[in-house]
Amino acid sequence: MNKGKFITLEGIDGAGKSTHMGWLKSLLEGWGYGVALTREPGGTPLGERLRDLLLHRDRRLNPETEALLMFAARREHLDKVIYPALDRGEWVICDRFTDASFAYQGGGSGVSIEKLRILERWVQQDFQPDLTFYIDVTVETARDRLGGVRHADRFEQEHDGFFQRVRGAYLARAAQWPGRIRVIDGNRPIPDIQKELELNLSIVCK
């Protein structure tokens, strides 16, 4: 059986990733593929517990501790969920993956890129998503969209300068890997964005 494809969604908080997850699943199922939706941090019982610790609004961890926990959750996620689903021939759509560690812990919080690369190699060797959609919005747009969130989590409480750095790190990674990471202008209406997601998926993966 052919291996499935691994698709990841990235963007700053409020970019609109979660909005497209279910839609992407329906689209791919319509093309005849089995699809698993998952997210990081999370996706396994351990990962979801780590997610609670990492996103707790009153807890601020050392950024390197944060990075180590993100990659620990990822190791478990790959082993228990992502690799088995791909081996069964399913497509896996993951709300955030390793690009988020480079953008948030690296760009946002200043953890050294060399240390993150060591963790990346340790945890996933050469494994990378087949395709990553980076949904790019301005920090102002993201703030407006999250305006209705009553209990912002630990990251959503960060100041605009933090998110500018995270966005800059995402854009730099997208420029470094233009084949894998597609920059999608997320400031547009949802149907326009989904048209572009569909076009990219049909070209790259069908």
Stated length of the chain: 206
| Closest CB 124 distance from ligand TYD, rounded Å | 12
Q: Are 101 and 116 in contact (CB under 8 A)?
A: yes
- Which residues in the 177-206 window bind ligand ADP by CB under 6 A? 186, 189-190, 193
- Which residues in the 23-52 window bind ligand TYD by CB under 6 A? 39-41
In one letter, which amino acid is 50?
L
> Which residue among 16, 93, 95, 197 contacts ligand TYD (CB under 6 A)?
95
Beta-bridged to residue 182, according to DSSP, are: 133
Q: Is the peptide bond before 189 cis (omega within 30 degrees of 0)?
A: no
Question: Which partner, ligand ADP, ligand TYD, none, binds residue 190 by CB below 5 to 8 Å per kind?
Answer: ligand ADP
Comparing CA positions, the residue from 136, 100, 96 lying closest to residue 116 is: 100
Q: Are 81 and 36 in contact (CB under 8 A)?
A: yes
Give the per-residue contact string, 63-92, with ligand TYD (x = CB under 6 A; - = no).
-------x----------------------
Give the footprint of ligand ADP on this chain (CB under 6 A).
11, 13-19, 145, 186, 189-190, 193
